[in-house]
A = this chain, B = another copy of it.
């Protein structure tokens, strides 16, 4: 039985950055999040792929001990994203998005997923996020939601309805500004909290992440990376490592949330050092712990 259920997209990506390119590469929010979570816990993935999806990618997930019984194989083509980054690696430019089998995705959770205590609602539509939440037999101990600009543009109220139902509303800086129509991230975070989300976490890419709760404020810098190769999936890796770390420790107080954010930032920083899951799928716990230690040193004063 997986202890963390992760729903989102599994994709085949074409990505170009100033440092190279990847074609037909494994991608998607659920992929990055579940592999990141696998360093801490036993994730189960809920997603859909087409019959063109290479077996080797399923093998990779299995090798990382990701439960794939929630991965649906539909007839048709796998979701495809093509994009590029210029020298400002904070900004992804989309060339094309082909939803393919993802457009009719109706996630159905395997029975053994329905008792999981940790649930990450990755970037699928708000309606499907709620449908997944409702399939759980018991309210999980911790539910984290993410979203994306597309769903905010389409129906911001639906996105807010999801945030109301979860414990942690997670999103990136641009999404937070867009959803709450404010340039001020502290104000956006306060609005997430006021939606009855217990914690607000805003991811800021190279600038790290902030967390607001009723108790206080936490700011983590980004890990200083000189060789960013491809940031695709780093936000999803952050989310997966965050919930995976919490599932492993089982401790849901604010102090441990802070620690989880540092682990999440660490895993996300590794992900940006190679295309696709080139680096993310090949980490060791020693590497992760080493970078977390460097994190401690770099904020000390």
Chain B min CB distance to A256 (Å): 9
A258, B301: Cβ atoms under 8 Å?
yes
Residues of B within 8 A of A221 (CB): 208, 210, 219-221
A225, B186: Cβ atoms under 8 Å?
yes
Residues of B within 8 A of A20 (CB): none
Of residues 275 through 301 on chain A, the ones whose CB sits less than 8 Å from some CB of chain B are 296-301
- Given A186-B226, A210-B224, A226-B187, are A217 and B298 also a contact pair (CB < 8 Å)? yes
Let me know if A77 is at the binding interface, CB within 8 A.
no
Query: What number of copies of this chain does the assembly contain?
Result: 2
Let me know if A104 is at the binding interface, CB within 8 A.
no
Contact of A219 among B185, B190, B217, B298 (CB under 8 A): B298
Residues of B within 8 A of A261 (CB): 301
The complex places the Cα of A185 from the Cα of B226 at a distance, in Å, of 8
1/0 per residue A221-260: CB within 8 Å of B?
A: 1101110100000000000000000000000000100110
Closest to A87 in B: B183
Give the B-binding residues of A (Cβ under 8 A): 87-89, 182-187, 190, 204, 206-208, 210, 212, 216-222, 224-226, 228, 255, 258-259, 261-262, 296-301
